[in-house]
Amino acid sequence: MARLICGIRLLNGLSVAAAYPKPTRLRSQTDPKPEMPHSAIDLDRAAERVPDFWSPRIVAELNDYQVKVARLKGEFVWHKHDETDELFLCLSGELVIQFRDGDVTLTSGQMYIVRKGVEHRPVAAEECRVLLIEPRGVVNTGNAGGDMTAPEDVWL
């Protein structure tokens, strides 16, 4: 039903794109949260619009947490987040989250929570789209840094 409603809205020219701030708009942590329009957010469709791989974009906030979508392909870097757990929900494709002592494979509709301080490396042989939930200010490469570090706090 949500998909149908979203489809109708798209036919009318109203999409998630229209309902949310322009791409790459930066908000300060003290800005008020954007209004929640009365329309469903189609997460996979939103993720499709993310311009770059490994560069999460915010689609919503709840309290101090951010809901992000990302497109992943290839191998990320080994890293950990010393301050927070990290939720991965696979929207489409297949995501392998590698750990030093084993892997977890997610397909559409499956989720996993990486505990804080645990080293991990996301890998996607083919394009995979994911939803992430994490506190504001989390850097995608955690403690590792490097070329794959994406700007944080960027809305879709």
| Shortest spacing between CB 12 and Ni ion, in angstroms | 38
The residue among 42 and 86 lying less far from Ni ion, judged by its C-beta, is: 86
Nearer to Ni ion, 43 or 70 (CB): 70
The nearest distance, CB 13 to Ni ion, in angstroms, is 36
Residue number, 45 or 129, with CB nearest to Ni ion: 129
Q: Which is nearer to Ni ion, 38 or 100 (CB)?
A: 100
For residue 126, the tally of other CB atoms under 10 A from its CB is 9
The kind and range of the H/E element at 66 are: strand 65-75
Number of residues forming the site for Ni ion (CB under 5 A) = 1
Provide, rounded to whole angstroms, the least separation between the CB of residue 142 and Ni ion: 5
Question: Using CB under 5 A, which residues numbered 59 to 98 contact Ni ion?
Answer: 86
The pair of structure tokens assigned to 67 is 């809901």
Question: DSSP H helical segments within the chain, as ranges?
Answer: 2-11, 16-19, 43-48
Can you list the alpha helix ranges (DSSP code H) found in 68-141?
none
Could you tell me which residues come within 8 angstroms of residue 64 by beta carbon, excluding any fewer than 6 positions away? Answer: 135, 136
Q: How far is the CB of 3 from Ni ion (least distance, A)?
A: 29
| Contacts (Cβ under 8 Å, ≥6 apart) of 93 | 72, 107, 108, 124, 126, 127, 128, 129
Residue nearest Ni ion, Cβ-based: 86
> Whole-number minimum distance, CB 113 to Ni ion, in Å?
11
Residue number with CB closer to Ni ion (27 or 80): 80
Are 48 and 6 a contacting pair, CB within 8 Å?
A: no
Chain residues binding Ni ion by CB under 5 A are 86
